Amino acid sequence: MADTKLVGKNYTTPDLLAKVTGRAKYAEDFRAEGMLFVKLLLSPIPHARVRSVDTSAAEAMPGVRAILRAGELPAPADTVTDLGETIRANPKGERALTDEPVYAGEPVLAVAAVDEETAAAAIEAIQVDFEPLPFVVDPLESLRPGGPNPRLEGNVWGRPPAEPGAPPGPLDIQELKWTEADFAEYDQGRLPMGKPQVDTSYGDLDGGFKNAALVLDETFSVANNQHHVLEPRSALAYWQNGKLYVHTGTQSAVQTVASISRWMRLDPTDVVLITEYTGGGFGSRATGAVSCMIPALLAKKANAPVLMRITREEEQYIGGIRPAVHGRVKAGFSKEGRLLALDLYTMGENSAYEAQGDAISAGRIVSLLYQPEAMRHRAVTVLTNTPPRRAQSQPGGLQGIMLMEPVFAKAARKLGLDQVAIRRLNAPEGKAPFGPPDREGQRGYCTSSFIKQALDRGREVFGWEERKARSGQRTGSKVRGVGVAMSSFVAGSTGFDGLFVIKPDGRMYVQSGVGNLGTESFSDVHRVAAEMMGMPWEQVTINWGDTSQNLPWTCVSGGSQTTHAMTRAAHAAASDAIAKAREIAARTLGGRPESYQVANGRVSGNGRSMSLADVARRAVELGGKYDGHELPENINKVTTISATGLAGQGLMGVARDTYPRDGASFSFVAGFAEVEVDVETGQYRVVDYTAIGDSGTIIHPRAYGGQLLGRSVLGMGHALSQKTVYDQHYGLSLATRFYQSRPPTILDVPRNMKHEALDIPDPETPVGARGIGEPPVAAGACAILNALSDALGDDVYRRAPVNLDTILMALEHGRPMQEPLTAHI
Amino acid sequence: MAIVHDVIPPFQLFQPASLDEALDLLEARGQDAWVMAGGMDSFDWLKDRTKRTSAVVELSQVTDLQGIRDTGNGLEIGAMTTLTDVAEHPAVREHFGVLAEAAGLVASPQIRNQGTLGGNVSQDARCWYYRRGWHCYRAGGNICYADTPTAVNREHAILGADRCVAVSPSDTAPALIALDAQMVIRRRGDERLVEAADYFRGPGVDITRMTVLQPGELLTAIRIPSTWADADFYFEKARDRQVWDFPLVNVASAIKTNGGRITDARIAVGAVAARPLRLEAVERAIAGRPKNDETGLMAGQMAVDGAVALRHNAYKIPLMRNLVRRAVRGVSTPVTT
């Protein structure tokens, strides 16, 4: 988009003032008359069966209004996709409450009382008889011959072998054990590579290794990490006239209605979600949280509004965890540094519930980012008695890149190559391929990649050459190092709907179904529609955060898809409104529609012109498609209902994104870091950081910078300090507070980090914009890891985060001293 | 009884307006009285319902316990003076910089605004097994969960372990020991002075208490004698994050020299044992030697003599060794962003 007034410009988002003044109301800020409060009874042990529960003393307490048990939850419902495909509910999947807890901290029952003090006292008065069951919190322990299983049935998800000609059966829990021989190198710190669940490959792997000038075989572990959202998954629920009202934070206003209605077995039209503000998601609540059923069911039972405030500790359990991935990378490089062959093995940690795909998707991202000429990827995902694994910013991509980047750093040193140069040599360019071939033998490819330009630009902005020159120099006990890392992740989906009305008052009312989780895309994407309509931003109202307000079918804000998907939808809706406005002008003022243009809030042509306010008035008079009484056939039924609710009020722009796209959308980031390490203490600091983004056209520069650097900091936490901690013998979490799990703070990162966007439009989307939320994460993490090895050499760390103990012990002993494979330490 | 966290159970709240009133309350309530200074330690226990009390004596209204005054022979710091006020006080900064630095490195700016000097030296152990309410030695049980083959004990003790391997989490304690500070302890009708180094207790003496404070007693002030005013000071705190973290190891030193040679020294180390350790043998050994890296190396080696690592905390031995070395050698700016 050339010569824009809104797109690519900074502005004050419609939620900003409320946020900075504290007027913004998050779920737990609401109060309703007669409201009750919930406390949860959590399992004190990692795996158990509830033999019996005695709630009599609790029920006798004044102020206790209702107790909810797992048996009272509606049975999980099947899902029917947009295409009419039925996905059967997993009877062994995660639910809001359970009588067979599979991790310590899992909610068993809930009490609603007049206040939290009473509810807590009631919980303490409840007697639960738990029958302890076998458990395991370390996946490798579970894979050992005779190792414990996290579920009675086994330790992995799989499908039973299909009868010839029949479709494969539903996913179920199976047992997978490796052999003693598989563990032969465990004590040397090498990841055992027993029987995998997935084994894919392409190219001539053996030939690649044979021709390689350098072959590395490295084991590395990426930690489990909580999402650390600032607003936990608290929820308020009440019923009015048979409708369920829920206030909670989520990554999607619109699609969370579908989840809640499925969990509660209600018609979607009987669910209203109020979610104006969400204190962070990072993948932990893509379509809300199943725990919101608890206040909803208690509200029904007690016939009163019910607020469930989730505590930090509870959030650390039910909020979920990014799965750790333990990887083994065998990589063969040519002497020029080209990755000729890659044999990647990834083992993903999982809860005893639904499997996360991180271990598998890691391979896909790695294949795109480093373009190995031949690649094999084996993966296994192992269940343990730890909290649910959920997608977290750059799921799988982060872990895959964290396995690869230290290998590239080492290869460059061994081959005497510049770190930027070796990455540039292997980086994807244009419509680069990724993944193994499909059934037809075709490999997928991305819409565009300009990461080589990002590396070139970063080298300049960061001052790579000068910093490199001082890298490794000792000043007293301090030594510096520089690191560069590439990163990539998916960055856009298609096929969603845009919806707005320009009313006779001359204002444009945009319906936004995007979750407001801090990225500002709930507002940013609609700047495209306002731009195209020539509408001054002051005359635009964004309606968001209340699903009773006629919102269109919208993507989930996960997988960095919103900017891409919803600018396309906004473009489609604006194109629809422009076409209608031109027709109305022709019908009103004469001439052909094609001779009219929409600009500056007017429709003009043939020397005549009318305001959009007048167009809106005429649209209502004309009715039909112009004011939404007739709707396109191809829009989602959610949009149809919403548009019908808005019909007759003005000129309606409503359309589904049907723009073509050749390739899959990915964004890219190049990250550069300098660290300073004190070799006497092992303590280090990040001196400076620069991120360059390749994600197409920039819609809102300030929000873009917030994502590029903010998510880099999320990644830095993975390198610097944050992790989960479990005692393996008891299967219990030890780090249940922020100060124990140690996410990075503003004081842990450089004050003046730099960022830039290439701002090269993506050729496969009309607005040119892709998402940027996720690719910065691995860039932030790996630029630091690589800077550390630049300063200290290759024999320091074998897992992240890298704390001062890792560094100091390696320097003392001249070799890595971390336990590389033990989970949760 | 099922366990539930994060709701403070009911208690009687007393907010005495004077020191006498506070001491009367402590006397009357005895064991039942929970003394709350800034609340940074207390709220954790109370919210988790791991420790309970029927009566909290909250001291923010007792103005006598706040502020820093010149005694003519040093400073007297009220126990309720915030860590921020200690860190920013001109006289502390000018003459007793080691304490200003230590106070300024505690936790985070927000916590320093609320937390007090008295609270910082009197806080309970931060062992994550103990604080989660596991029934360990320190909680009156008969096991140390942090000292088992599977225990995650990266932050635990390398010295002075006696059944319990928890460490002293205070940053200001080593600085106060290095300054020969005296703790003013009062109970109704009585006052006693305790040397800072003697204020803290190891598990061998009392496994359930970190200090000598008895029921009915209150730490009212900390006196810093002028003995070490303007000496060569050193303070360093090694930690995982640059803010909002307890020390993995910290060190404080006060050294006097004459012609480059050490005439007198105080060195104290925190987070390596259940109490902050004054390294008297090291102090004696370095007396008369030049204040340089060579002496530092010797001091560091000597300091860790007898240290025993657990599964995950072997790094604390070289870390303590090197920090003591630096505390003797001086210079070196810690790496902070």
Residue with tokens 């009868």: A163
SS3 A191: coil
User: In this complex, is the C-beta atom of A128 within 8 Å of any C-beta atom belonging to chain B?
Assistant: yes
Cα gap A567→A573, rounded to integer Å:
10
pLDDT along chain A (825 residues), means of 10: 90 97 96 97 98 98 98 89 77 96 98 98 98 98 98 95 82 97 96 97 98 98 96 98 97 95 95 97 95 98 98 96 98 98 98 97 98 98 98 98 98 98 98 95 97 98 97 93 98 98 98 96 98 97 97 96 98 98 97 96 94 98 98 97 98 98 98 97 97 98 97 98 96 94 94 96 98 97 98 95 97 94 95
Among A120, A729, A740, beta carbon nearest to B7: A120
Which residues, 6 or more positions from A582, have their beta carbon under 8 angstroms from its beta carbon?
A: A593, A594, A596, A597, A598, A603, A605
Q: How far apart are CA A763 and CA B149, in angstroms?
A: 58
| A722, amino acid identity | Q
* Spatial distance between the Cα atoms of A457 and B177, rounded to a whole number of angstroms: 53
**B positions 139-198 inside 8 Å of A (CB):** 145, 148-152, 154
Q: Cite the beta strand spans of B11-138 per DSSP E.
A: 12-14, 33-36, 55-58, 68-70, 74-78
Structure tokens at A322: 């990014």
Q: A126 and B2 in contact by Cβ < 8 A?
A: yes
In a domain, B156, yes or no: no
Whether residue A801 is preceded by a cis peptide bond, meaning omega within 30 degrees of 0, is yes
Domain total for chain B?
A: 1
Query: What architecture does CATH give domain A324-492+663-813?
Result: 2-Layer Sandwich (3.30)
Partner residue opposite B2 with nearest CB, options A124, A314, A726: A124
Rounded Cα–Cα distance for residues A225 and A140 (Å): 18
Tell me how far apart the alpha carbons of residues A231 and A308 are, in angstroms, rounded to a whole number: 13
Partners of B236 on chain A (C-beta within 8 Å) are: 681
Q: Which domain holds residue B313?
A: 73-122+167-329
End-to-end CA distance of chain A: 50
- pLDDT of B290: 97
pLDDT tens digits for A606-616? Answer: 899 999 999 99
Contacts of A745 in chain B (CB under 8 A): 108, 241-244
Strand order in the sheet with A540-544: A540-544, A508-512, A497-502, A651-656
**What is the pLDDT, as a whole number, of residue A433?**
98
> How many Å apart are CA A773 and CA A763, to the nearest integer?
20
The confidence score (pLDDT) of residue B13 equals 98
- Residue B160 lies inside a defined structural domain of this protein: no
Chain B contact probe: residue of A739, A807, A825 with most B CBs at under 10 A? A739
Q: What is the dihedral of CA A14, A19, A23, A25, to 10 degrees?
A: 90
Strands A79-80 and A36-42: unpaired
Is the Cβ–Cβ distance between A658 and A634 less than 8 Å? yes
CATH number, domain of B111, equals 3.30.390.50
* Pairs of CB atoms within 8 A across A/B: 150
Q: Measure the CA angle with vertex A49, ends A48 and A51; round to 5°.
A: 135
Secondary structure (H, E, C), A26-60: CHHHCCCCCCEEEEEEECCCCCEEEEEEECHHHHC
Q: Residue B189 falls within a domain, yes or no?
A: yes
Q: Backbone dihedral region of B2: left (phi > 0), alpha (psi from -120 to 50 degrees) or beta?
A: beta
**Going by CATH, does the domain composed of A495-656 fall within 3.40.50.720?**
no
Domain boundaries, chain A: 20-133+230-318, 324-492+663-813, 495-656
Identify the residue among A734, A822, A824 best suited for mutation to test binding to B, counting B beta carbons within 10 A and taking the highest. Answer: A734
Task: Please indicate if any CB of chain B lies within 8 Å of the CB of A183.
Answer: no
pLDDT at B337: 53
- The two three-digit tokens of residue A98, written as one number: 């359970």
The dihedrals phi and psi of A710, each to the nearest 5 degrees, come to: -60, -45
| Three-class DSSP category at A324 | coil
Q: What is the distance between the alpha carbons of residues A482 and A748, in angstroms, rounded to a whole number?
A: 17
Distance from the Cα of A330 to chain B's closest Cα (Å) equals: 29
Whether residue B190 lies inside any domain: the answer is yes
Q: Do B152 and A120 touch (CB under 8 A)?
A: no
> In what helix (H) or strand (E) does residue A454 lie, and over which residues does it extend?
helix A451-462
Distance from CA of A109 to the nearest CA of B (A): 11
> How close does chain A come to B322, measured CA to CA in Å?
6
Which residue blocks in A471-611 are alpha helix, DSSP H?
521-524, 527-533, 562-589
pLDDT value at position B333?
59
Chain A residue numbers touching B323 (CB-CB < 8 A): 681
Helix then strand count (H, E) for chain A reads 22, 36
B323–chain A nearest CA distance, Å: 7
Provide the shortest C-alpha distance from residue B205 to chain A (in Å): 27
Handedness of CA A794, A800, A804, A809 (dihedral sign): negative
In a domain, B136, yes or no: no
- Does any domain span residue B225? yes
Neighbouring CB atoms inside 10 A of B297's CB total 16
pLDDT < 50: residue spans in chain B: none
Report the CATH fold assignment for A20-133+230-318: Aldehyde Oxidoreductase; domain 3 (3.90.1170)
Q: What residue in B sits closest to A728 (Cα-Cα)?
A: B150
* Dihedral of the alpha carbons of A532, A533, A537, A540, in degrees to the nearest 10: -130
Residue A86: predicted pLDDT: 79
Give the list of residues 6+ apart from residue A742 with CB closer than 8 angstroms, or none.
A717, A721, A722, A723, A735, B240, B241, B245
CATH topology identical between A324-492+663-813 and A495-656: yes
Is the residue at B87 inside a domain?
A: yes
The Cα B288–Cα B299 span in angstroms is 13
* B8 vs B49: CA distance, rounded Å: 6
Q: How far apart are CA A657 and CA A676, in angstroms?
A: 49
Residues from chain A contacting residue B322 (CB–CB below 8 Å): 680-681, 808
Please answer whether residues A36 and A67 qualify as being in contact, where contact means their C-beta atoms are separated by less than 8 angstroms.
no
The pLDDT of residue B336 is 56
